[in-house]
Every structure is written in structure tokens, then in C-alpha cells.
């Protein structure tokens, strides 16, 4: 369906090329739809232009890009539309609550969104503790929601049309008890390791006019032993000598193992946001539980769903230790065969790292 911006006209789109319809969802990042339609000289085709709405699977999207194409006597339009939630990118809270202010998540939402009409904001799960936000305001609504999410440990911000739901982790994830099994219901698996983002040492400093304590480092010794010192941005205390919250902030900055990006092609259509599946790669002995954090789906083309799975330390440990075990077996087999050459040895990562 397509609807005019003034909401006076809503019609189906009969000239939609269903094979091009693609939906993209990535947790806390993007939510959009794209497709191509042919010019059938209909009212619907003429409405496929920027800032009009399209509807798919019960959700409203706002057309942000439309590209007219002419080839072989055929006129088409390519559409990219973002979820109506992202209209909040264009709304702001211009006021600022100066200094350190203690908020509950409800009071922070009330300050940020109090003047916004047409949207509701719902907290789902136990996110009731109070936290301090400094100089909150003078931001877009979506940037303010990002600040609230990081402050109150909101795990997922999930829009349902004009209703914006803020979930705790416990209320978002859903262990479905199913497996992505390579060469069974999963045709392609890519595991990409990236060590460039490791942080295992963070300095805490007092920036008070009269320093309240000597600078010190918060470290993860297991990570340093494995990967060497990787410094992160320092944490500054501009008030008193209570360093406890600053130590917690320093630890929150740490990324103690390489990032592991897992992307798979699946032959299942019953995959949903927040699902927990078990990934099994028998060739490498990898078995690890993962959460679906991104889905790119072309619903009218079979076996064409791309799923990205979450990266946690445990996932890295599962894959890394499986590779280490495989390498150890290769070395043992070579030794038994009488080979004497040296091989590179991968260190084993501690689960407590």
C-alpha cells in the first residue's frame, strides 16, 4: 500500500516487482524497505515519491529515496523507505537540563519527548534504577534515545509504527531452541575476526582544579597477556575522589577480545528479531549460542535471507578455542607422522578474560 503525505489517498501498488522487495532490520540501527515498481500509469505509481508512506507487514515506512529509471522503453522507480520511527531524527529537544541531573528512565523520556505528538514510548522490563545524565538535551529525539539506552542499559529499541518500545535484555531475547546447522539449513557461514577494536587498559584521571587522586589504570590482565596493551580513551573525574563509578566506566569501555562478525545465509523463513539460535559448524567443532541482531530478507525469493548474529566474548571463545583444538590435532598428527617442522601456535583464551 502507498499513502499520500496528507493521508487523503491510500491505494495498493499493483505494479510492484515482488522479486525486488527487500526488508532490512538491524538492532538499534536501521529498519527499512526497498523495492522497484513499474510505471503502469496508475495513481499508485504516481504516489511512489519522497515523503509519502508505504505499508508492509503492518508497518509504516516513509519514502526517503526514489530513483526513476528509463530503459528499453520501460519506466521504473526504485524506492527506499525508512520506518516511520526515524521521522524522530527530524524532531529535537532544544532545552537543556544543565549539570548532573538524576533521572529515572521514565523522567528522562518525559523530558526528552514531552512535546512530541503522535508517538508513545514504552519501557518493557526492569529498567527502574536512577542514573545521572550530564547536560541532557539540545539533541534530536533519536540521539536522546541513544543516550537513554546507554545510560539505563536498554538492550533494544524496537518501534511498532508510532509506538517506541525500550526493552531490557531479559524481555527482548527469546531462546527458540533451534539450530543453524551448516550444510543443512544454513548454506553459507562467514566468521570475520577483527582485532583493531581491542581495549584492555583505560586510565582514570582527576580533572578537578585541585586533583582529587593520582591517575591510575584499570586493566584486564588476561587480555593484556594475550594481545598486549591496548589503551582506550581515558575516563575523567571532574568532581570528587569517589572513583568507583569511574572504574565501572573504564571497564565498560573495554573490548578484551577481537570482534567476531558472523553472517549466515539461511534456508529458514521462521527467523525473528531477538531469537537465540545455536550455530553448529561440524567441520570445525564450533557450537555456540547466538542472537539474531540483523535480518536482510527478500521474502519472495526462496533461501535468500541473510542473518547477522551477535558478537559476545563467549562466541569468540567458542570459535577461537575450537580452532585452537583443531590446530593442536594437526600438530599432533604431524608429530605422529614424523614431521619435525615448527608450526605457529595459537594461544588459548580464558573464558574469564
Region 234-253: mean pLDDT is 87
In a domain, 348, yes or no: no
CATH (domain of 38): 2.40.30
> Is residue 222 scored above 60 in pLDDT?
yes
In a domain, 340, yes or no: no
Of the three residues 31, 50, 84, the one that is the final residue of a domain is 84
Of the three residues 38, 57, 84, the one that is the final residue of a domain is 84
> Is residue 316 scored above 60 in pLDDT?
no
In a domain, 343, yes or no: no
In a domain, 344, yes or no: no
Q: How confident is the model at residue 252 (pLDDT cuts 50, 70, 90)?
A: confident
Of the three residues 84, 108, 140, the one that is the final residue of a domain is 84
Residues 228 and 101 in one domain: no
Residues 238 and 306 in one domain: no
Q: How confident is the model at residue 345 (pLDDT cuts 50, 70, 90)?
A: very low
Written as one string, the DSSP assignment of 283-332 is TTTEEEEEEEEEEEE-TTSTT-EEEEE---HHHHHHHHHHHHHHHHHHHH
pLDDT at 283: 81
Provide the whole-model pTM: 0.77
- When divided into structural domains, the chain yields a total of 4
Residues 27 and 167 in one domain: no
For residue 231, the 8-state DSSP code is B
In a domain, 341, yes or no: no
pLDDT at 175: 93
In a domain, 17, yes or no: yes
Region 122-146: mean pLDDT is 92
For residue 121, what are the domain limits? 91-172
Region 327-331: mean pLDDT is 49
Pick the more confident residue, 260 or 273.
Answer: 273
CATH (domain of 101): 3.55.50.40
> Is residue 187 scored above 90 in pLDDT?
no
Residues 272 and 186 in one domain: yes
Residues 289 and 227 in one domain: no
> Is residue 216 scored above 60 in pLDDT?
yes
CATH (domain of 285): 2.30.300.10
Residues 127 and 275 in one domain: no
Residues 66 and 98 in one domain: no
Q: Which residues contact 70 (CB under 8 A, 6 or more apart)?
A: none
> Is residue 352 scored above 70 in pLDDT?
no
> Is residue 30 scored above 80 in pLDDT?
yes
In a domain, 207, yes or no: yes
> Is residue 324 scored above 60 in pLDDT?
no
Region 238-251: mean pLDDT is 86
Q: Which residues contact 210 (CB under 8 A, 6 or more apart)?
A: none
pLDDT at 314: 43
Residues 215 and 314 in one domain: no
Q: Which residues contact 281 (CB under 8 A, 6 or more apart)?
A: 182, 189, 287
Three-class secondary structure of residue 87 per DSSP: helix
Region 219-242: mean pLDDT is 91
Residues 186 and 213 in one domain: no
In a domain, 352, yes or no: no
Residues 185 and 309 in one domain: yes
Residues 187 and 320 in one domain: yes
Residues 297 and 315 in one domain: yes
- Angstrom distance (rounded) from CA 75 to CA 348: 59
pLDDT at 348: 36
pLDDT at 317: 45
Amino acid at each position: 500500500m502507498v499513502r499520500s503525505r496528507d493521508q487523503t489517498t491510500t491505494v495498493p501498488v499493483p505494479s510492484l516487482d515482488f522479486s525486488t522487495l527487500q526488508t532490512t532490520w538491524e538492532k538499534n540501527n536501521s529498519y527499512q524497505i526497498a523495492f522497484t515498481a513499474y510505471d503502469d500509469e496508475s495513481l499508485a505509481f504516481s504516489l511512489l515519491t519522497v515523503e509519502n508512506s508505504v505499508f508492509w507487514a503492518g508497518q509504516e515506512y516513509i519514502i526517503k529515496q526514489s530513483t526513476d529509471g528509463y530503459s528499453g522503453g520501460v519506466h521504473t522507480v526504485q524506492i527506499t523507505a525508512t520506518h516511520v520511527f526515524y521521522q524522530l531524527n527530524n524532531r529535537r529537544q532544544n532545552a537543556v537540563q544543565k549539570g548532573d541531573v538524576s533521572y529515572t528512565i521514565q523522567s528522562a523520556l518525559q523530558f526528552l519527548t514531552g512535546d512530541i505528538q503522535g508517538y508513545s514510548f514504552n519501557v518493557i522490563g526492569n529498567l527502574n534504577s536512577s542514573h545521572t545524565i550530564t547536560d541532557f538535551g539540545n539533541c534530536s529525539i533519536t540521539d536522546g534515545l541513544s543516550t537513554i539506552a546507554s545510560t539505563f542499559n536498554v538492550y533494544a529499541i524496537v518501534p511498532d509504527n508510532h509506538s517506541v518500545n525500550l526493552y531490557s535484555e531479559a524481555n527482548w531475547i527469546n531462546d527458540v531452541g533451534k539450530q543453524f546447522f551448516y550444510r543443512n539449513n544454513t548454506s553459507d557461514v562467514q566468521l570475520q575476526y577483527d582485532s583493531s577494536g581491542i581495549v584492555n587498559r583505560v586510565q582514570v584521571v582527576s580533572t578537578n582544579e585541585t586533583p582529587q587522586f593520582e591517575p591510575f589504570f584499570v586493566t584486564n590482565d588476561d587480555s593484556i597477556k594475550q594481545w598486549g596493551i591496548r589503551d582506550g580513551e581515558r575516563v575523567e573525574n571532574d568532581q570528587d575522589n569517589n572513583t568507583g563509578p569511574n572504574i565501572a566506566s573504564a571497564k565498560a569501555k573495554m573490548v578484551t577480545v577481537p570482534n567476531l562478525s558472523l553472517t549466515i545465509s539461511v534456508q529458514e523463513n521462521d527467523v525473528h528479531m531477538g531469537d537465540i539460535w545455536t550455530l553448529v559448524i561440524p567441520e570445525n567443532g564450533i557450537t555456540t549460542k547466538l542472537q539474531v541482531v540483523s535480518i536482510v530478507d527478500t521474502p519472495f525469493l526462496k533461501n535468500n535471507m541473510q542473518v547477522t548474529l551477535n558478537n559476545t566474548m563467549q562466541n569468540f571463545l567458542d570459535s577461537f578455542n575450537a580452532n585452537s583444538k583443531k590446530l593442536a590435532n594437526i600438530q599432533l598428527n604431524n608429530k605422529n607422522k614424523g614431521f619435525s617442522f615448527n608450526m605457529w601456535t595459537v594461544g588459548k583464551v580464558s573464558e574469564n578474560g
